[in-house]
Amino acid sequence: MSSNFGERIKISIFGQSHSEAIGVVIDGLPAGEEIDLEAVSRFMKRRAPGQHKYSTTRKEADIPEVVSGLFEGKTCGAPLCAVIPNTNMRSKDYTNLMKTPRPGHADYTAAVKYGGFQDYRGGGHFSGRLTAPLCFAGAVCMQILARKGIQIGAHILSIKEVRDDAFDPVQISAEILQEITEKVFPVCNDAAGERMREVIEDARLAQDSVGGVIEAAAIGLPVGLGEPMFDGLESKLAAILYAIPAVKGVEFGKGFAAAALMGSENNDPFYYDADGRVKTSTNHHGGSLGGISSGMPLVLRTAFKPTPSISQEQQTIGLDTRQNETIRIMGRHDPCIVPRAVPCVEAAMAVALLDLYYMQNK
């Protein structure tokens, strides 16, 4: 099992859905960085359940306790560890998962991989709950990135077939990112957001679920971030984004749509802007050329499958009975995890970008 990420900023995430606590160790933070824990909490609250009627009714206080790595409010060079106690657990809801794996979840694969010893309660280490420590780590990294002029923000690009307006990959600004990340339901076009909420509510009423796409951007990146080949911007970002449960696709810039363009359309012409800075007049490359940041906004999209937990009866297998069986998932679950996944995407990006930031310096 490998719950570590990063070379210069190393995070190690621990915990299961129903263990005593979950948390993260962040190793490699530079010393002397002031960390605003209030701001971290506000960021984490964007991911927390229970704010919307369409999200799970499990309440998580989710107050991370920083047990090391901060001294007088600043990073001190030692690994920063945050522990988030697990409370409000209802383990009995999940006891059947051991025997009848939920379709679309890791119950079956984990059972085989760990020989039946996995902590099956609530999905164990595979639970979406483990994105809470990721958000903590991301919020910390984001504060450091901000001091370097780098800002990250994401919005819901689509829920099922309802689409928000896409970011303008050339014009995206700090103001736009700020504004959108402050929304309870982060979309550019609030009317679209309203329709999305209806789609989610419809799914909930139908004991079903829906997925969606999150679009994210990072601006202010210096030119030169990202190492070639296996540690390029896309490689690092995709690797960490795919660690968020339910992600099934990641694309950069034009992404899959680029495959249908002519080279003459897709290539982004370089030019010097009025201030003598190098820009491209379009941004199909999404801020990365050869895996290295170009100075243009970094733009990516992440596809989330619909929440696999649905209350409808589903076909599954009895691991004990060796017979085909059916299951109804009764626990608390979101009909759509996309809104809560928005800060997770931002957090994952922040960790990867700060890691790459310190990899470039030599």
Q: Which of residues 186-205 bind its own copies (CB under 8 A)?
A: 203
Which range, of 25-33, 44-52, 175-183, 187-195, touches its own copies by CB under 8 A?
A: 25-33
- Restricting to residues 242-281, name those near its own copies by CB under 8 A: 242-243, 245, 247-256, 258-272, 276, 278, 280-281
Rounded to 10°, the helix 131-147/37-47 angle is 130
The mark string for 343-362 relative to its own copies (x by CB under 8 A, - otherwise) is ---------------xxxxx
Picking from 357, 361, 362, the residue whose alpha carbon sits closest to that of residue 233 is 357
Q: How far is the CB of 194 from its own copies (least distance, A)?
A: 19
- Among positions 36, 42, 53, 71, the unique one binding its own copies when judged by CB under 8 A: 71
Contacts (CB under 8 A) with its own copies, residues 221-240: 223-224, 226-232, 234-236, 238-240
DSSP labels for 271-288? EE-TTS-EEESS-TTTTE
The yes or no reply on residue 305 touching its own copies (CB under 8 A) is yes
SS3 state at 275: coil
Side chain identity, residue 40 = V
30 vs 182, beta carbon nearer its own copies = 30
Q: Is 21 in the site for its own copies (CB under 8 A)?
A: yes
CA distance 161 to 179: 24
Stretch that binds its own copies, among 55-63, 105-113, 167-175, 177-185 (CB under 8 A): 105-113
Nearer to its own copies among residue 173 and residue 235 (C-beta): 235
Distance of CA 11 to the CA centre of its chain: 15
Closest of 89, 96, 122 to residue 16, by C-alpha: 122
Which residues, 1 to 20, sit near its own copies by CB under 8 A? 1-5, 7-8, 10, 12-16, 19-20
| Both tokens assigned to 142 | 């984001």
Minimum CB–partner distance for residue 178 and its own copies (Å): 26
Q: Which class for 359: exposed (0-12), middle (13-18), buried (19 or more C-beta within 10 A)?
A: middle
Q: From the centroid of its chain, how far is CA 272?
A: 35
Candidates 37, 89, 99, 114; binder of its own copies (CB under 8 A) is 114
What does the buried/exposed string (b/e) look like for 198-216 if buried means 16 or more CB atoms within 10 Å of the residue's CB? Answer: ebbeebbeeeebbbbbbbb
Provide, rounded to whole angstroms, the least separation between the CB of residue 33 and its own copies.
8
Burial environment of residue 2 by CB neighbours within 10 A (0 to 12, 13 to 18, 19 or more): exposed
Interface residue with its own copies, options 104, 185, 331, 332 (CB under 8 A): 104
Contacting residue, 44, 48, 97, 106, with its own copies by CB under 8 A: 106
Distance in Å, CB of 207 to its own copies, minimum: 8
Using CB under 8 A, which residues numbered 121 to 160 contact its own copies? 121, 124-126, 130, 158, 160
The SS3 assignment for 144 reads helix
Residue 20's H or E segment, with its range, is none
What is the helix (H) or strand (E) element at residue 263, kind and residue range? helix 263-266
Least Cβ distance, residue 201 to its own copies (angstroms): 14
